Copies of this chain bind each other. A is one copy, B any other.
Amino acid sequence: MAPMTTFKGDQFDRSLFESVIKRRFFFTESFEIYRLAPSFRGDNRGLFDYGPPGCALQANIVDVWRKHFVLEENMLEVDCTVITPELVLKTSGHVDKFADWMCKDPVKGEYLRADHLVENVLQSRLDRGVNGPLKNSPKLDEETIAEYNDILAKIDNYDGPELGDLIRKFDIRNPDGNGEVLPPIPFNLMFKSTVGPSAAAPVYLRPETAQGQFLNFRKLLDFNQGAMPFASASIGKSYRNEISPRSGLLRVREFLMAEIEHYVDPEKKEHERFQEVVRLQLPLLDKATQLAGKTTCRSITIEEAVTSKTIDNETLGYFLGRIMLFLLKIGVDPSKLRFRQHLDNEMAHYACDCWDAELLTSYGWIECVGCADRSAYDLTVHSNFTGTPLVVKEALRTGPVKVERWQASLDKKLVGPRFKRDAKAVQASVEGLDQSLLERLASELNAKGVVTIDTATPLADGTSSVELSSELLTIQKVTQVQTIREYTPNVIEPSFGIGRILYCLLEQTYWHRPQDAARAVLSLPLIVAPTKVLIVPISAQSQFTPIVRRLSSRLRVLGITNTIDASSASIGKRYARNDELGTPLGITIDFDTVTDGSITLRERDSTTQVRGSEDEVLRAVNNLVHGTESWDQITQYLTAFSTQGQDND
């Protein structure tokens, strides 16, 4: 395909772009015809339907994803339920921690997401150069500008009370009406419901596909015949009850995710295929750079990033490389892609390191893929709670070895009477203590005669820690013969927001013909374009019908999606419509076709045309679709063809 030449990011006109998306029904707000009904109540933003081209684009992106990740690396794809019992999400930490901070404007009755409020107000003050909402607000001085910029660079790093401090300090108010807002409170982002007529226990719509994969870990490991490392994957809808969603497809309440959970031995985070990606250059924005208040990327090889520990390990580096290759394959502009490391407070409660692939759009840099190291967090908490071991057992390669280990034991006669209903929980918590903690507790117990231990599950009195004296608890070093090594895998999780990727791709591939801003083009690559080929007969005469049908059917047999437009509009208008739909190739049937069987093939971006026999053109189309030939190569053996003004009708 010819390169995009007429579109520059700074010329991007969002309203023109949005009118194309709407006109061609890529997507639309859900239940649009109801939104104007007077009895339509409630907050139903952040919900979108995909029309035929959006739906096909989405299916094609998912298809490429499945081939690029699942099939290429033999991942174990699963499909788990969206409905999830509260207990599962309580254990995973989502019931307590999966929340955003929000401020209520008591006058308007509106809820505002606290970080967005601070960000929007400070950015607007910077843009207007004044330090307040009113016309006679004082001008911003250099020091305040620097302070604002520093806050904006770290905006994802503040928790609720800190956001509350900023709101007070800078007198930040609801831009809609200038009312003061109440201090930030947390709002859990999960949709709640109940199951069955008894409605006995709440359920949630999953906020990520990951938990279903973790709960099936044991079956997956069995299915993989015990071999490590391996990955599971899942493509499906997830739900987040956003506080106040805006910006179209970028912040929605129901969205398609594609997630990979790659299980690795924590002591072997090398990756077998690391060599395949080492030379790739990644545009990185690391944590240190952001905390210094800067946003400039540096482009370094994956090898260098892993060696310098900018990226923690080979497996994480490998996946960042594979993510980049995927994004480029579906048509992302490499100059509008970066990998940003999460700041500490910004990370999800389960993550210990995280990089986002961000795509540049008219809304700024948008997080589209997360790649987190969730460590052993999830498997550990589910295993502790259910008592089901979610571990890998491997024969020691060295054969049996003697090892010294710290071992804790409780005096069972005393524990029962002392802890009653909690005895089992206390026992389980002591068994769950790891070696380094045991070593520390042993010396503490020795010194003080008592230690405090956190319990995995809450106790009868609601607390979750317990004091154990040396009467009850013994910790000593023992020598054991080990033949098996047992460990809880760490999880590296590349997680893709398909809707966000789709939106960013549409923005990045949108441009218009230099001569006419109304002639829009979406330069979607063949691999993801909703329809590959448009077939247009030059007129609606019936002599063309059998030729059109035969061509369409031959393409379908080749697995190439095509559309016939036999409407009475001019050829130019029909092409223009399909340029907006991102259809890469057009076949024209004219009066010469009837006599000599030749047909014309048009390339969307350059509008150049070539001509050949039906067989020649179909072979060329097939090669283009499968990526075995480029348009330039096609033009070398098929005759150039021009129809005066056809593309300007």
10 A-B pairs (CB sep. < 8 Å):
A39-B87, A52-B77, A52-B220, A52-B223, A54-B79, A56-B77, A195-B241, A196-B241, A225-B567, A236-B237
The answer to whether B200 touches A33, judged by C-beta atoms less than 8 angstroms apart, is: no
* CB atoms of B78 and A50 under 8 A apart: yes
Find out whether the CB atom of B51 lies under 8 angstroms from the CB atom of A223. yes
Report Cα–Cα, A561/B564, bound state, in Å: 32
Q: Is A575 part of the binding interface, using a Cβ–Cβ cutoff of 8 Å?
A: no
User: Is A512 located at the chain interface by the 8 A CB criterion?
Assistant: no
**Size of the chain A interface, CB-CB below 8 angstroms:** 92
* A271 touches B (CB below 8 Å): no
Residue pair A51, B219 in contact (C-beta under 8 Å): yes
- With A30-B81, A191-B193, A193-B191 as contacts: A37 and B87 at CB distance below 8 Å: yes
Name A87's contact: one of B40, B52, B187 (CB within 8 Å). Answer: B40
Asked if B85 and A212 make an inter-chain contact with CB atoms under 8 angstroms apart, the answer reads no
State the CA gap A253–B195 with chains docked (Å).
9
Beta-carbon contacts under 8 Å, A234-287 to B: 236-237, 239, 241-244, 253-254
Question: Which of A48, A111, A197, A220 is packed against the most chain B CB atoms within 10 Å?
Answer: A197
Question: Smallest CB–CB gap between A570 and chain B, Å?
Answer: 14
Minimum Cβ distance to chain B for residue A239 (Å): 8
Return chain B residues, CB-CB under 8 Å to A337.
Answer: none
Q: Is A8 an interface residue (CB 8 A)?
A: no
Chain A contacts with B in 184-225, Cβ cutoff 8 A: 187, 191-203, 205, 212, 215-216, 218-220, 222-223, 225
A308 to chain B, nearest CB (A): 32
Known contacts A51-B223, A85-B44, A192-B193; is-contact A33 B201 (Cβ 8 Å) = no
Contact A43 B195 (CB under 8 A): yes
* Contact A71:B556 (CB < 8 A) given known A50-B78, A76-B52: yes
Taking a contact as CB atoms under 8 Å apart, the answer to whether B79 and A49 are in contact is: yes
Task: Tell me if B74 and A51 are in contact (CB < 8 A).
Answer: no
A41 interfacial contact with B, CB 8 Å? yes
A490 CB to nearest chain B CB (Å): 20
Q: Is A388 an interface residue (CB 8 A)?
A: yes
Determine how many copies of this chain the complex contains: 2
Residues A77 and B55 in contact, CB atoms below 8 Å apart:
yes
Instruction: Decide: B243 and A72 in contact? CB cutoff 8 A.
Output: no
A47 at the binding interface (Cβ < 8 Å): yes
Does A58 sit at the interface, judged by CB under 8 A?
yes
The docked-state distance in angstroms from the alpha carbon of A241 to that of B111 is 31
Nearest B residue to A49, CB-CB: B80
A42 touches B253 (CB 8 A): no
Task: Encode contact with B along A353-389: 1 for CB under 8 Å, 0 otherwise.
Answer: 0000000000000000000000000000010011110
Is A31 in the interface zone, CB < 8 Å from B?
A: yes
CB-defined contacts of A216 to chain B, threshold 8 Å: 28, 32, 49, 51
Q: B33, B52, B109, B386: which contacts A78 (Cβ < 8 A)?
A: B52
5 new A-B pairs (CB below 8 Å) besides A30-B83, A52-B76, A74-B563? A40-B85, A56-B77, A83-B253, A104-B197, A237-B237
Tell me if A323 counts as interface (CB < 8 A to partner B). Answer: no
Verify if A588 is at the interface (C-beta below 8 Å from B).
Answer: no
Q: Verify B44–A195 contact, CB threshold 8 A.
A: yes
Which single residue of chain B is at the shortest CB-CB distance from A109?
B198
Q: How far is the CA of A205 from the CA of B83 in the complex (A)?
A: 11
Q: Cβ of A220: which chain B residues have Cβ within 8 Å of it?
A: 25, 51-52
B81 near A34 (CB under 8 angstroms)? no
Whether a CB of chain B sits under 8 angstroms from the CB of A88 is yes
Task: Determine whether A82 belongs to the interface, using a CB cutoff of 8 Å to chain B.
Answer: yes
> Using Cβ atoms and an 8 Å threshold, which residues of chain B touch A387?
37
Question: Which residue of chain B has its CB nearest to the CB of A223?
Answer: B25
A554-567 CB mask vs B (1 if < 8 Å, else 0) is: 00100001011101
Q: Are B196 and A82 in contact (CB under 8 A)?
A: no
